[in-house]
Structure 1
Amino acid sequence: MIDETERKRKLKIRLIIIFIILGLVIAGNFTKIQGAYIKYIVHNTKNEQVVTKTLTTNEIFELQSNQLKLTYSYNKNERGWWKTDWLWKEIVDGLDSMYENYSIMTEHPEYDLVKIKFTIIKYKVDGKTVEFISKSKIIQVHSKDGWIEK
């Protein structure tokens, strides 16, 4: 029969092994845990606004260029990128929708103006306000024949 001290010693060894494994799991996922925590904190500062603007092809290109520059701020080559990886993905998603709008305008030179519905998102990240377009959709295009619904 196993005496009481032997049983306590085995229990202590098992607990130590469990804590070591738990520590390794936490250490291995630290960046994900930290990123999720920061995302939770930043999402509490989220401000979403829907705006409709009339733009030319050049103005769409300018907005797209500004958004592309913003992606460089949250690039994976930056130190601590895992903290804001989710933000980089949101900015790139908005950039993709803007690129689609720009492509439509360049493929149809007969369109001189376009009405676009934007969803603008603002976050407070590290004390700075980050503002970007998360979604954009063409609702009307203008040519010499007038406005056309899209």
Structure 2
Amino acid sequence: MTQTSLDELGPVDYLVVEFPAGESNFTGEMANELVALVDSGTIRVIDMLVVTKDADGSVDAMELADIENLGPLQQVEAELAEFLAEQDVVNLAASMDPGSTAGVLIWENLWAAPFASAARRAGGQLIADGRIPIQAIIASIEADDHDDDAIEGD
């Protein structure tokens, strides 16, 4: 990871995307989209892992450097820090289904760094943050559509 002053950092997020056994379809599209976000200066990737959980519950984690043929992710791999500790991997894997594979991504939101720095210089501190899963938004929209249809049918 390139050297950045702590005062200049943007918010750091992570996500874990699970691919159930036999249901992954890797075409390279995810890698291309991630590289586009890095190239545009929207994010800086801090760490990436591939975590597998066997049917017996045993867990294995691989850093990108351990994976051959990274394709477009090769340019991202050179900048990574090994951010996650072994216990972090164990905690993440606890929510995975046996037989699945997960991608773990940790990134800095470069687009928000100037605002975050300005807020810190003004004496502000982050006291809460969160994320609304897209599945919850879709369910809410579908519920509203269903309610609207029911009202129109009355």
Instruction: From the two aligned structures, give the one with the greater strand fraction.
Output: 1
TM-score (norm 2): 0.29
Pick 1 or 2: higher relative contact order, CA cutoff 8 A, min separation 6: 2
Instruction: From the two aligned structures, give the one with the greater helix fraction.
Output: 1
Q: Rg bigger for which structure?
A: 1
TM-score (norm 1): 0.30
